[in-house]
């Protein structure tokens, strides 16, 4: 096209009238060379990849990008969302892609803002979630120190930092935009190990003109179906499964997309299924072969299956230290079958038969070859007994009622009791559950009774305090947001309390369930278990979170009370509110064993390290 409109405003309006950039390309209108600012080419390129939502805290380094986004938002082609904290913003973007599969871009400047956004990006990296991080960078001319740069006489320091954090690109010249977008798409839309892509935009290159064909801007890559193992490897796996009598499947996060195939395979193989914190729901909670979570926290039944199994089948698991007890969670295992698309993770353990490829295809092909074997009956009976023991253990804690607490000088609910009540409520109303780090998270993956993937999102990869409350915001950004409940502690909530403001601003319908024990209970418990004393993990400062939340117009703030019934009433009242709600709930902390869910595995931390490492040296796998 020879007569592309001359200004950004005219081009944006023209594209909107046609139906967007893809419609214009389909009509053959964007095949000629055109000249336009780099930031506009970038926005159009991201639009081709389906990225039209920008989560932003604009600064010195992003006014030019902000102007392009303003123009294209006025035309209805993109949408910008303002935030008050970069960590919160990074978490919201991660949840938007993780829960709703909407790719987006997080925008800020270098300096403190970018460092905070990068810190928040650990959640996306640890959980394999793809999104763009775009930072306004210092100029390429080196005319002197730029505000917010790393104050060191060296070139491209933020590019070095982002390269250490993940895949990264600095747009040092406008003509590099196609390469940057191609590399970005390869990271953001990677089929099994996606992550954040860091794109640095120097101040002086942003407004510069780039000449290119708009129909040559890279789109999302389309990856072929992952290859599956050959017949010989599959037959070897079937032979291992047939010969062994005590089989455990460890379902990692990569098993979430293969839940139906995993269920069929587990039944065909006569295997117990042990969950990771992030894979609750891959088997229905009540399924007799679902042994629940296993690992350093784990469960009675999950850790029993890990301890006793002589063959372990890993599905979509990275071998995270807490999930496999720092490598010593499988003391009786003599062989491993590892199913994973990643060629490195699939070889994590010794004595491994590696089945590299798509879990759904591999599990289906194995199931087709298996026949039920009588030698698994005794194993499944023993596992069922341990599951019954775990269920009785949980029921005893739920039925115990409020426990006398020294901080509150009154009986209050325990965290497991509160989570159990809220988990049941969430299932009744179809809410998505988010769990913050710490004791809330650990109790959460032991307590929840999910029946399908996607009911719970627990950020156990980076274990990031403040993730859950920030993730609620994604419901207000998504095209079809779901009602959500953020399970958080007082410490995690105070990492990102600005969600109260941003939640109202972005129209979130959700509830923050704030369980308050005035401490970092997970670390207190760990200190007591290791050294007999807790140290600097609690405070005596009382905070009226109901009053705090009520100060934000549009937030409904409630006192959760001290009983299961009062909590249920508060949850129902919060759900009925069309916007954001907060429930302040006092919870127990103390030595009463009914106050927690216990720990069942080992962990290479603190003064346990020597013992764990000695056992690891003696492990076969």
Q: Give 78-96 pLDDT, tens digit per residue.
A: 999 999 999 999 999 999 9
Q: Which residues pair with 53 in a beta bridge?
A: 79
For residues 582 and 559, is the Cβ–Cβ distance under 8 A? Answer: no
To the question of domain 407-589 being in CATH 3.40.50.300, the answer is no
Query: Closest by alpha carbon to 277, among 257, 296, 258, 261?
Result: 296
- Our separate counts of H helices and E strands in the chain read 23, 22
Residues contacting 597, CB < 8 A, separation 6+: 297, 299, 394, 397, 416, 442, 443, 446, 447
Residue 214 has pLDDT above 80, yes or no: yes
What number of other Cβ atoms are within 10 A of residue 415's Cβ? 27
Spelled out in words, what is the top-level CATH class assigned to the domain 8-216? alpha beta
93-131 b/e (C-beta count within 10 Å ≥ 16 → b): bbbbbbbbebbbbbbbbbbebbbbbbebbbbbbbbbbbb
Integer CA distances (angstroms), 405 to 29, 346, 392, 393, 422, in order: 70, 47, 24, 21, 21
- Given this model, what pLDDT does residue 142 score? 84
pLDDT at 493: 97
- Give SS3 for 542: coil
Q: Where are the domains of the chain?
A: 8-216, 231-386, 407-589
Polymer length of the chain: 621
What is the DSSP-derived secondary structure letter of residue 257? G
Residue with tokens 């807490």: 322
What tens digit of pLDDT does each residue of 232-273 get?
Answer: 999 999 999 999 999 999 999 999 999 999 999 999 999 999
CATH superfamily of 231-386: TPP-binding domain (3.40.50.1220)
3-state secondary structure of 463: coil
User: Which of 24-38, 73-87, 365-379, 504-518 is least confident?
Assistant: 365-379
Percent of the chain past pLDDT 90, that is, above it, reads: 92
Compute, in degrees rounded to 10, the torsion defined by CA atoms 501, 507, 510, 513.
Answer: 0
- Report the distance separating Cα 407 and Cα 589, nearest Å: 8
Domains 8-216 and 407-589 share a fold: yes
In the structure, what pLDDT confidence band is assigned to residue 1 with cuts at 50, 70 and 90? very low
CA distances in angstroms from 39 to 62, 164, 177, 226, listed in the order given: 10, 25, 9, 35
Q: In the numeric block, which tokens belong to residue 41?
A: 């080419």
Q: Report residue 339's pLDDT band, with 50, 70 and 90 as the boundaries.
A: very high
Question: What is the mean pLDDT of the segment spanning 34-42?
Answer: 97
Both structure tokens of 496: 């990102």
Q: Is 359 left (phi over 0), alpha (psi -120 to 50) or beta?
A: alpha
On the question of pLDDT at 148 being above 90, the answer is no
Give the pLDDT band (50/70/90) at residue 2.
Answer: low
Residue 453: its pLDDT value, please?
96
Q: How far apart are CA 455 and CA 426, in angstroms?
A: 9
- What does the alpha-carbon distance between residue 123 and residue 116 come to, in Å, rounded to a whole number? 12
Give pLDDT tens digits for 536-563.
999 999 999 999 999 999 999 999 999 9
With a cut of 70, say whether residue 404 has pLDDT above it: yes
3-state secondary structure of 209: strand
């Amino acid at each position: 096209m020879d007569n592309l409109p001359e200004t950004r405003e005219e081009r944006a309006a023209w594209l909107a009238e046609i139906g967007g950039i893809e419609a214009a390309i389909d009509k053959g209108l964007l095949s000629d060379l055109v000249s336009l600012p780099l930031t506009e080419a970038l926005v159009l390129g991201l639009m081709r990849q389906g990225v039209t939502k920008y989560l932003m805290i604009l600064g010195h380094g992003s006014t030019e990008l902000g102007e392009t986004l303003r123009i294209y938002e006025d035309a209805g082609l993109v949408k910008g969302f303002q935030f008050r904290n970069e960590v919160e913003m990074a978490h919201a973007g991660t949840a938007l892609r993780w829960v709703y599969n909407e790719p987006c871009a997080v925008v800020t400047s270098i300096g403190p803002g970018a460092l905070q956004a990068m810190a928040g990006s650990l959640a996306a990296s640890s959980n394999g979630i793809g999104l763009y991080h775009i930072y306004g960078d210092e100029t390429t001319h080196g005319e002197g120190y730029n505000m917010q740069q790393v104050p060191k006489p060296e070139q491209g320091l933020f590019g070095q930092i982002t390269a250490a954090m993940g895949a990264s690109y600095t747009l040092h010249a406008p003509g590099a935009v196609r390469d940057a977008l191609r590399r970005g798409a390869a990271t953001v839309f990677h089929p099994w190990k996606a992550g954040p892509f860091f794109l640095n935009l120097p101040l002086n290159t942003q407004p510069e003109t780039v000449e290119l064909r708009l129909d040559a801007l890279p789109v999302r890559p389309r990856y072929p179906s992952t290859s599956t193992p050959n017949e010989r490897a599959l037959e070897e796996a079937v032979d291992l499964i047939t010969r062994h009598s005590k089989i455990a499947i460890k379902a990692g996060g990569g098993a979430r997309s293969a839940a139906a195939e995993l269920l069929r395979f587990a039944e065909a193989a006569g295997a117990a299924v042990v969950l990771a914190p992030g894979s609750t729901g891959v088997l229905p909670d009540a399924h007799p072969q679902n042994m629940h979570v296993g690992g350093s926290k784990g469960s009675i039944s999950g850790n029993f299956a890990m301890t006793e199994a002589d063959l372990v089948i890993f599905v979509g698991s990275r071998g995270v230290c807490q999930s496999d007890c720092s490598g010593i969670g499988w003391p009786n295992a003599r062989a491993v079958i590892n199913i994973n698309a990643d060629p490195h993770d699939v070889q994590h353990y010794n004595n491994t038969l590696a089945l590299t490829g798509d879990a759904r295809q591999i599990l289906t092909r194995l199931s087709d070859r298996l026949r039920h074997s009588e030698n698994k009956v005794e194993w499944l009976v023993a596992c069922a007994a341990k599951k019954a023991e775990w269920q009785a253990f949980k029921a005893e804690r739920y039925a115990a009622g409020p426990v006398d607490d020294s901080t509150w000088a009154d009986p209050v609910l325990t965290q497991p009791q509160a989570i159990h009540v809220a988990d049941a409520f969430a299932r009744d109303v179809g809410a998505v559950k988010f769990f913050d780090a710490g004791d809330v998270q650990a109790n959460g993956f032991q307590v929840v009774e999910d029946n399908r993937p996607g009911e719970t999102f627990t950020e156990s990869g980076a274990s990031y305090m403040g993730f859950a409350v920030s993730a609620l915001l994604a419901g207000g950004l998504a095209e079809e947001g779901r009602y959500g409940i953020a399970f958080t502690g007082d410490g995690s909530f105070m990492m990102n309390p600005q969600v109260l403001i941003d939640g109202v601003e972005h129209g979130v319908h959700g509830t923050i369930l704030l369980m308050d024990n005035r401490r970092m209970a997970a670390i207190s418990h760990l200190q007591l278990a290791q050294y007999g004393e807790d140290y600097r993990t609690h405070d005596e400062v009382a905070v009226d979170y109901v009053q705090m939340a009520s100060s934000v117009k549009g937030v409904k703030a409630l006192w959760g009370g001290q009983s299961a019934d009062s909590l249920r009433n508060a949850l129902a009242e919060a759900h009925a509110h069309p916007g954001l709600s907060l429930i302040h709930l006092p919870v127990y902390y103390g030595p009463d064993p009914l106050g927690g869910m216990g720990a069942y595995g080992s962990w290479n931390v603190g003064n346990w390290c020597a013992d764990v490492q000695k056992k690891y040296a003696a492990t076969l796998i």
